[in-house]
């Protein structure tokens, strides 16, 4: 009776799958290591399928006792008989299985022997090997390549065999290998012996004979270090040796995967033996093919290659807001999703409050610039109030004038300098200020503003929906593709970006170059998780010594010492704020009274908006 009930339920599931299959291609998304039983917990907790047509299938399976113990592979096999490709494994959290669950599994397997006869399960590949030769930088493409193998194959170890460790650039951008090892402790480096170093840097058959020697000793899979790995059909994994490398000439070999499933298998030892064992460029239909280029991957939307070699993807920002096939694949490898838009909430209660925060340290005699900045925040940016934080009460004639002009809309809150997490480390005052402004935003939320930031338009409500907003900076520094300007930072209280930024500051609290973690290590946070921050170019134009840099224009980046003038812009229409930095002198009221220029025009505009006459200052 139990057998009949099981078969009837399986028939229901089959019809459900057929209905879905008419609209969605399921073969790629369900292939993989699916042979474990369904967990006792609801499927949304135990199996990583969200918003997928198979979710209903899993729900039915969970609610049917006779089926709960069956593997997902069993269900899929009913609809798609034959071997299941090792394409993309579903992510799952192993659950503890009760004795009752194990008994159900045994009974269910006994009842479904016929249906599961052809399903052999995944051939376990415990080692994935990469061969790193020569003096090279480990870049984002290499990071994606190894991450893809870790996710799709799930090996016990990834071994990078090298003759020279990856190079480090002077500006410390290329730290992708460090990040990878931090995320995946099972990535290890192994230096090849001296006799193999020449073979490592060779081309053609010599290099691949070294790779085969490694596979013969350890077993496992070899993959190119610049290729995203997608799949190897199960039929190939049932062989002792399979190669996706193709010999196109005596010296040129098309890169691909090589798999050795049995340790110490007999492999080629000489060039001629190698040429006989691997595929030729014109591979047979059943051969494992070499990796294809990313350009070819885009040209053939229906292609299902084993791996894709990356040439056009250089930096994470190249893929964030692109939705072609290659970008979506790369985002899924890097972030687990193809949608990486900044965190945003449409609910009014979640919006960043319209409160401006300023820091006042040292003797805290308020300057004319700070007075003007606060006026612009309240009367042009239309923020509700301004709060000045610091260890010393603001003072001076401009503080008195500010209180007179805006009244209770400006207030002072006492705040002491932060202490280092490690008492033995000495923090610079600049780093203390970075930490103070970030902790203020974590606690209150709002808009942190430098005292030289002047609003030229109202802050739109839409920007307050984002969890955190800043603008790119124009400073070019080595290979860093971008940097972040925190002179104006809009953020919700407790924003995840702020919390991670604080960790960056504290981890580098004793640096003598605090600008580096502030501008560049903060950008690395964004490369790791693009949802943390909305980089909005028109939030601000930064001007240094009268040279302004609109960061939405082509070629806006320049070295700090070069300070190349940027493109012309309309300060009343093109940007929300202008950040005006002069080495000497600071902006003074007499300059506004008697001179001309961009900053003078902006200052007079602010005073008019605040209904303050220049002649009465």
Predicted confidence (pLDDT) per residue in 77-130, tens digit: 333 333 323 222 222 333 333 444 334 334 433 433 332 332 233 457 899 999
| Half-sphere exposure (Cβ direction) of 36: Cα atoms closer than 13 Å | 17
CATH of the structural domain 349-616, one choice from 3.90.550, 1.10.10, 3.90.220, 2.30.110 = 3.90.550
Please determine, for residue 39, whether its predicted confidence score (pLDDT) is greater than 70: no
Q: Which of 455, 374, 438, 380 is nearest to 412 (CA)?
A: 374
Please determine, for residue 181, whether its predicted confidence score (pLDDT) is greater than 60: yes
Please determine, for residue 251, whether its predicted confidence score (pLDDT) is greater than 70: no
Residue range 209-237, pLDDT digits in tens: 888 888 888 889 999 999 999 988 888 88
Per-residue pLDDT band for 583 (boundaries 50, 70, 90) equals low
What pLDDT, on the 0 to 100 scale, is given for residue 570?
97
CATH of the structural domain 100-332, one choice from 3.30.70, 1.10.3470, 2.60.120, 3.90.550 = 3.90.550
Task: Say how far apart CA 195 and CA 482 lie, in whole Å.
Answer: 42
What residue ranges do the domains of the chain occupy?
Answer: 100-332, 349-616
Please determine, for residue 184, whether its predicted confidence score (pLDDT) is greater than 90: yes
Q: Which of 542, 563, 566 is nearest to 486 (CA)?
A: 542
Instruction: Name 578's bridge partners.
Output: 454, 541
What pLDDT, on the 0 to 100 scale, is given for residue 95?
37
In this structure, the strands spanning 187-191 and 241-243 are unpaired
| Cβ–Cβ < 8 Å for 242, 289 | no
Residue range 409-430: mean pLDDT, rounded: 90
Single pTM value for the model? 0.78
CA 609, chain centre distance (Å): 42
Per-residue pLDDT band for 31 (boundaries 50, 70, 90) equals very low
What pLDDT, on the 0 to 100 scale, is given for residue 585?
75
Please determine, for residue 152, whether its predicted confidence score (pLDDT) is greater than 60: yes
Residue range 543-567: mean pLDDT, rounded: 91
Task: Say how far apart CA 253 and CA 203 lie, in whole Å.
Answer: 8
Number of other residues whose CB lies within 10 A of the CB of residue 574: 17
What pLDDT, on the 0 to 100 scale, is given for residue 90?
28
Instruction: For residue 305, give both structure tokens.
Output: 């290659």
Q: Which residues of 84-99 are buried (b: 16+ CB within 10 A; e: fewer)?
A: bbbbbbbebeebeeee
What pLDDT, on the 0 to 100 scale, is given for residue 3?
52
What pLDDT, on the 0 to 100 scale, is given for residue 179?
97
Give residues with Cβ within 8 angstroms of 473, minimum separation 6: 482, 483, 484, 485, 519, 542, 551
| Cβ–Cβ < 8 Å for 128, 220 | yes
23-37, 164-178, 591-605: least confident range: 23-37
Per-residue pLDDT band for 473 (boundaries 50, 70, 90) equals very high
Scanning the structure block, which residue is given the tokens 């051969």? Answer: 287
What pLDDT, on the 0 to 100 scale, is given for residue 560?
81
Please determine, for residue 136, whether its predicted confidence score (pLDDT) is greater than 50: yes
Per-residue pLDDT band for 272 (boundaries 50, 70, 90) equals low
Question: What does 544-602 look like in DSSP terms, one character per residue?
Answer: ETTEEE-TTSTT--B-TTT--------TTTS-SEEEEE-SSSPP-HHHHHH--SHHHHH
Please determine, for residue 562, whether its predicted confidence score (pLDDT) is greater than 90: no
Question: What does 453-510 look like in DSSP terms, one character per residue?
Answer: EEE-S---GGGGGBSEEEEE--B--TT----EEEEEEEE-TT-HHHHHHHHHHHHTTT
Task: Say how far apart CA 222 and CA 207 lie, in whole Å.
Answer: 12
Instruction: For residue 562, give both structure tokens.
Output: 């070069």
Apex 267 CA angle, 265 and 272, nearest 5: 165
36-45, 243-252, 269-278, 362-371: least confident range: 36-45
Number of other residues whose CB lies within 10 A of the CB of residue 354: 18
Instruction: For residue 69, give both structure tokens.
Output: 């113990």
Per-residue pLDDT band for 304 (boundaries 50, 70, 90) equals confident
Residue range 383-399: mean pLDDT, rounded: 96
Sheet holding 292-293, edge to edge: 227-229, 307-309, 292-293
Residue range 47-56: mean pLDDT, rounded: 36
Residue range 249-267: mean pLDDT, rounded: 75
Asked if 100-332 and 349-616 have one fold, the answer is: yes
């Amino acid at each position: 009776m139990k057998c009949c009930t099981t078969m009837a339920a399986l028939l229901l599931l089959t019809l459900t799958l057929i209905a879905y299959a008419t609209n969605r291609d399921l073969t790629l998304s369900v292939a993989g290591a699916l042979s474990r039983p369904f967990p006792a917990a609801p499927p949304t907790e135990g199996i990583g399928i969200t918003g997928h047509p198979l979710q209903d299938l899993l729900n039915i399976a969970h609610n049917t006792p006779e089926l709960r113990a069956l593997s997902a592979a069993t269900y899929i096999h009913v609809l798609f008989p034959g071997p299941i490709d090792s394409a993309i494994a579903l992510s799952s959290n192993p659950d503890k299985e009760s004795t009752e669950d194990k008994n159900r599994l045994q009974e269910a397997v006994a009842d479904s022997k016929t249906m599961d006869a052809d399903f052999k399960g995944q051939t376990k590949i415990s080692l994935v090997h990469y061969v790193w030769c020569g003096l090279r930088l480990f870049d984002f493409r290499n990071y994606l390549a190894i991450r893809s193998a870790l996710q799709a194959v799930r090996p016990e170890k990834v071994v990078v065999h090298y003759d020279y460790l990856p190079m480090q650039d002077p500006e410390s951008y290329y730290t992708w290998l460090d990040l990878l090892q931090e995320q995946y402790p099972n990535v290890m480096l192994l230096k090849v012996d001296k006799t193999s170093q020449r073979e490592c840097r060779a081309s053609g058959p010599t290099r691949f004979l070294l790779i085969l020697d490694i596979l013969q000793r350890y077993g496992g899979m070899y993959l190119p270090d610049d290729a995203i790995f997608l799949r190897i059909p199960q039929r190939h994994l049932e062989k002792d040796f399979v190669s996706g490398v193709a010999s196109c000439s005596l010296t040129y070999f098309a890169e691909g995967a090589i798999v050795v499933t049995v340790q110490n298998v007999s492999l080629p030892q000489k060039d001629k033996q190698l040429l006989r064992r691997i595929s030729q460029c014109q591979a047979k239909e059943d051969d494992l093919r070499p990796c294809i280029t990313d350009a070819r991957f885009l040209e053939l939307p229906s292609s299902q290659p084993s791996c894709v070699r990356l040439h056009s993807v250089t930096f994470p920002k190249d893929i964030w807001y692109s939705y072609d096939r290659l970008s979506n694949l790369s985002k899924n490898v890097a972030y687990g999703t193809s949608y990486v838009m900044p965190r945003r909430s449409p609910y009014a209660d979640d919006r960043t409050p319209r409160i401006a925060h300023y820091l006042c340290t040292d003797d805290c005699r308020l300057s004319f610039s700070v007075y003007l900045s606060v006026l612009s925040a309240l009367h042009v940016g239309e923020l509700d109030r301004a709060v000045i934080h610091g260890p010393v009460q603001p003072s001076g004639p401009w503080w008195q004038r500010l209180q007179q002009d805006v009244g209770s809309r400006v207030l002072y809150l006492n705040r002491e300098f932060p202490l280092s997490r490690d008492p033995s480390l000495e923090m610079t005052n600049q780093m203390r200020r970075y930490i103070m402004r970030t902790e203020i935003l974590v606690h209150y939320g709002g808009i942190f503003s430098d005292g030289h930031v002047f609003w030229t338009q109202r802050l739109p409500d839409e920007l307050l929906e984002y969890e955190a907003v800043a603008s790119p900076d124009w400073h070019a520094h080595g290979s860093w593709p971008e940097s972040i300007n925190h002179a104006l930072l809009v953020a919700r209280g407790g924003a995840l970006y702020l919390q991670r930024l604080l960790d960056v500051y504290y981890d580098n609290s004793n640096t003598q170059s605090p600008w580096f973690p502030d501008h560049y290590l903060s950008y690395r946070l964004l490369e790791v998780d693009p949802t943390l921050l909305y980089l909005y170019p028109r939030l601000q134009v930064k001007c240094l010594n009268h040279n302004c840099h609109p960061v939405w224009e082509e070629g806006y980046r320049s070295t700090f010492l070069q300070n190349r003038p940027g493109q012309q812009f309309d300060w009343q229409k093109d940007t929300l704020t202008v950040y005006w930095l002069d080495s000497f002198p600071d902006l003074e009221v007499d300059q506004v009274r008697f001179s001309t220029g961009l900053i003078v025009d902006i200052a007079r505009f602010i005073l008019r908006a605040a209904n303050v006459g220049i002649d009465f200052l």
